[in-house]
Chain A
Amino acid sequence: MAGFMQQIINGLSIGSVYALMAVGYSLVYSIMNFSNFAHGGVIMIGAYIGFFLLAAYKMPFYVAFALAGAGAGLLALIIERVAYSPLRKRKAPFLYFIISAMGASIFLENIVIATIGPTFKTYPKVFSTQPITVGSLSVGRLDLIMFVISAISLAILIFVIEKTKIGMAIRGTAYSVRASALMGVNTDHVIMIVFGLGGLLGGIAGMLFGMKYTVYPQIGFITIKSFIAAVFGGLGSLPGAVIGSVLLGIIETLTSGYLSSQFRDLIAFALLIVVLIVRPMGLMGKFTEDKA
């Protein structure tokens, strides 16, 4: 039983990082209705910024952390301006957005391979690896910090979306871009804010993920899991993305704990298939009318 609880705790901590990635993806999906495949690239760049600030410039952890988030947010904004905004102005078909996103993600991944190199990099040790023990359970310090930072970031995000004026504009635009524009919402600004927020959270998530494992150019592929988690929770729904991610994290750690870590990535795909068969709109999906 203690072993089971241990797996649940590990699952919660990795699931919360998936959640940080998935909300950025889900936010963009809820407004622009397309999968932002460049999100993985943004997460990867965030992880690299954090790595270099910590390893090469020996910055304190929290400064590196803030800068990684800010840098990734800025990058997401630049991608929006360069790759999506011209398409948006031209009212291009949905296919072009996905292709453009794919181009951005190929570019980001390969520019890192060409300049920094394809090798794995290990973050310098910031926290002691001595676990905190509570009774028979032991929690890694890093796992605890991952969970706490993710939870705080998500709480702030939900506060911004639910309680502030900007949040109201975001919710309105997600409901209907045209109607919000008629009500005087600057939807262009809202889209930029959404990309900035998504990038910021993605950068933080990338850095946490890099600290837990390693940093490498293909780290962006981890976002496949946050896509799947977002589908699991319901595309375009924020609470759905969070719940889906945490559940996916727990399912994954249980699989690698009791079956084999080989199956860890397969289980995510199997979950996707099951969700598509049983409940395509996801756990909390609002796009029920999309089921033709």
Chain B
Amino acid sequence: MDWFYIQGILILAGINLLAVLGLSLLTGFTGLFSFGHAGFMAIGAYTTAIMSVKLHLPFIPSLMIGGLIAALVSLLIGKLTLNLKGDYFCIATLGLGEAIRLILDNVQYLGGARGWPGIPLKTTLLNVVIIDIIGIIILVNLIRSKHGRNMIAIREEEMASQIIGINVFRYKMISLMISAIYAGVAGGMLGHYLGFLQPKMFQIVKSTELTIIVIFGGLGSISGSVLGALVLTSLPEMLRTFAQWRLVVYGIAVIFIMISRPQGLMGGHEFSFHAVKKIISSMFYRKKQRGLGGR
């Protein structure tokens, strides 16, 4: 295992992490379920690549434009479906993901189904880590703000939040747009890491994989999503021979998590040093108590 290989896994994990953070806001904190996040990643990836290859823009501005275009598309989908109850949003994102892939398959200017090679390799471990940290800081602050609390309220009880005066549609929309920006930027970084883009990379499987990571990490926990993204991206690398059965196990595990521990790994809790200290001290405290009881 040389450093180059490990670095590659870390970069992929970091890119996945960014997309998962966005999805975590949407699914974990706002309670909306998307099947089309790979579609937003595809939009971000192709837009960023167009900006940097065809228009020769620097990397960071192209990433930003990629994220913005993904957000614009999400605006369209959200406007149509988010004010409807039921599964319209879910089905629309499912259709959107597939439609984007099919459109890209047929655009010969961008390589079509054969793919688009020769994208400059600009993603390094350093800028992935920096963007990830910025993403985490923004998300943590958003969740702690009034807006984040409104989103959590919508997840918990939509009707009640509407009654106390939260604009449900607006907050769902904001949540969807932010998560699309995260997915778009992640897609842009993926393209500039691999140096090659192909519509096939953004199939539904990719969307479900992102959702699985959010669920494993725990709905409504950012540290859970971080942990989930790092573990679930690097685990398959270690279990190469097991590759075929990986998704079989994921499928069973998702059902099992839902029926036994729907809060996932972190269960709505966040990792903090304060909490670790409390857990450790409570362990000691309990031991002391037991000692006292024995006397």
Interface residues of A (CB under 8 A from B): 29, 33-35, 82-83, 86-87, 92-93, 95-96, 98-100, 102-111, 113-114, 221, 224, 227-228, 231, 235, 262, 265-266, 268-270, 272-273, 276-277, 280, 287, 290-292
A280:B84 contact, CB within 8 angstroms: yes
Does B160 interact with chain A (Cβ within 8 Å)?
A: no
B85–A107 CB distance below 8 A: no
- Interface positions, chain B 232-263, Cβ under 8 Å from A, are 244-248, 250-255, 258-259, 262
User: Separation in Å of the B78 CB from the closest CB of chain A?
Assistant: 11
Which of B99, B105, B254 touches A99 (beta carbons < 8 Å)?
B254
CB distance from A84 to the nearest CB of B (A): 9
**Bound complex: CA of A268 vs CA of B102, how far in Å?**
12
B258 contacts A266, CB within 8 Å?
A: no
- B161 within 8 Å of A by Cβ? no
Q: Is B281 an interface residue (CB 8 A)?
A: no
Q: Which residue of B lies closest to A281 (CB)?
A: B84
Known: A95-B33, A98-B90, A99-B215. A224 touches B247 (CB 8 A): no
Query: Using a CB–CB distance below 8 Å, which chain B residues touch chain A?
Result: 27, 31, 33, 35, 80-81, 83-88, 90-92, 94-96, 98-99, 102-103, 105-106, 169, 204, 208, 211-212, 215, 219, 244-248, 250-255, 258-259, 262
Check A224–B251 contact: CB distance below 8 A.
no
Interface centre among B83, B219, B247, B253 (most CB of A within 10 A): B247
Query: When the two chains form their complex, are residues A114 and B211 in contact, meaning their CB atoms are under 8 A apart?
Result: no
The answer for the CA separation of A86 and B258 in the assembled complex, in Å, is: 9
Question: A113 to chain B: which residues have CB within 8 Å?
Answer: 244, 247
Residues of B near A270 (CB, < 8 A) are 99
Contact flag A92-B92 (CB < 8 Å), given A104-B255, A113-B244, A266-B102: no
CB distance from A45 to the nearest CB of B (A): 14
Docked-complex contact B84 and A265, CB < 8 angstroms = no
Asked whether, in the complex, the Cβ of A107 is within 8 Å of the Cβ of B255, the reply is yes
Chain A residues, CB < 8 A from B252 = 103, 107
Chain A residues contacting B98 (CB-CB under 8 Å) are 221, 224, 265, 269
Known: A110-B247, A113-B244, A292-B169. A102 touches B204 (CB 8 A): no
Total A-B Cβ pairs within 8 A: 131
Q: Which of B84, B258, B262 has the most CB of A within 10 A?
A: B258
Measured between beta carbons, the chain B residues less than 8 angstroms from A224 are 91, 94-95, 98
B254 touches A102 (CB 8 A): yes
- Are B258 and A100 in touch, CB under 8 angstroms? yes
Smallest beta-carbon distance A18→chain B, Å = 15
Say whether, besides A98-B33, A224-B94, A276-B92, A83 and B80 are in contact (CB < 8 Å): no
Q: Please give me the residue from chain B that is nearest to A29 by CB atom.
A: B87
Other-chain residue from B84, B91, B219 in contact with A290 (beta carbon distance below 8 A): B84
Given that A103-B251, A292-B169 are known contacts, is A95 also in contact with B88, CB under 8 Å in the complex? no
Judge whether A110 and B255 touch: CB under 8 Å: no
Closest CB pairs A-B (n = 8): A107-B251, A103-B254, A106-B251, A110-B247, A269-B99, A103-B255, A35-B87, A269-B95
User: A87 and B81: CB pair below 8 A?
Assistant: no
Known: A114-B244, A292-B83. Is A95-B255 also a contact (CB below 8 A)? no
Contact A103 B85 (CB under 8 A): no
A188 CB to closest chain B CB (Å) equals 16
Chain A residues within an 8 Å CB radius of B87: 29, 34-35, 98, 235
Whether B250 and A106, one on each chain, are in contact in the complex, defined by CB atoms closer than 8 angstroms, is yes
Q: Please indicate the chain B residues that have their CB under 8 angstroms from the CB of A103 in the complex.
A: 250-255, 258
CB distance from A198 to the nearest CB of B (A): 16
Query: What's the Cα separation between A100 and B208 when bound, in Å?
Result: 12
How far, in Å, is B210 (CB) from chain A's closest CB? 12
Once A29-B87, A107-B248, A276-B81 are accepted as A-B contacts, the answer to whether A100 and B95 lie under 8 Å apart by CB is no
Q: Which of B31, B86, B259 contacts A93 (CB 8 A)?
A: B31
Q: List, sorted by A's number, 15 A–B pairs whose CB atoms are closer than 8 Å.
A: A98-B87, A99-B215, A100-B254, A100-B258, A106-B212, A106-B247, A109-B247, A110-B250, A221-B98, A231-B91, A235-B86, A235-B87, A262-B102, A280-B84, A290-B86
Name the distance in Å between A92's Cβ and chain B's nearest Cβ: 7
For B95, give the chain A residue with the smallest CB separation: A269
Q: Which of chain A's residues have a CB closer than 8 A to the CB of B259?
A: 82-83, 86-87, 100
Q: How far is the CB of B65 from chain A (nearest CB, A)?
A: 24
Residues of A within 8 A of B92 (CB): 272-273, 276
